[in-house]
Amino acid sequence: MLRLAAAFQPDILNLSLGCFTLSGGPPLVIARAIERLAPRVLVVAAAGNHGALPHLSSGRSRRSACWPAAVPPVVAVGAYGTVDGHPVMPGWSPDLPWVACLAPGEGVVGSYLTGEVDIDGRRQTFQGHARWSGTSFSAALVTGAVAARTVPGSVTPRQALDKLLAEAAEVRPYPLEG
């Protein structure tokens, strides 16, 4: 996907995914692909869902970088939910300095199949949608909001993101305040 993006040079690239490495550094292929993008391309990525984990396998921890979100100049997106109408970061959304902004990511309703599904030995019935939580949904929301405010030749994706963050409505600057 990153190779294709490098060839076509989109204005905005969503990477609602993440990984860790044994070395703690970014995977070379991801870092190089991001470097090959034009500087005008805004890359938005999920910050990861490992914030509340005290430790992970292979020496990783909740303080570990999640790639590609931690690769500069990627815009790393964390998640927030609401409690009594106030935004609150869930424990699983990483609270790390490379997180750039936050967007709704808890209990997001999304499309899903209709019918019964076996999930961890339990049968569940779905009616064309399901509730999801994770920074992948937050990153997708930010990408869509930026795209909706981008005007080719007039408002760049970076300018659109800056405006979103200044508004501090649905997309909020990190760290979360009020």
Q: pLDDT tens, 57-100? A: 555 555 678 999 999 999 999 999 999 989 999 999 998 889 99
pLDDT for residue 136: 96
pTM here is: 0.86
List the domains of the chain with CATH numbers: 2-173 (3.40.50.200)
pLDDT for residue 110: 87
Residues 6+ apart with CB under 8 A from 119: none
Per-residue pLDDT band for 134 (boundaries 50, 70, 90) equals very high
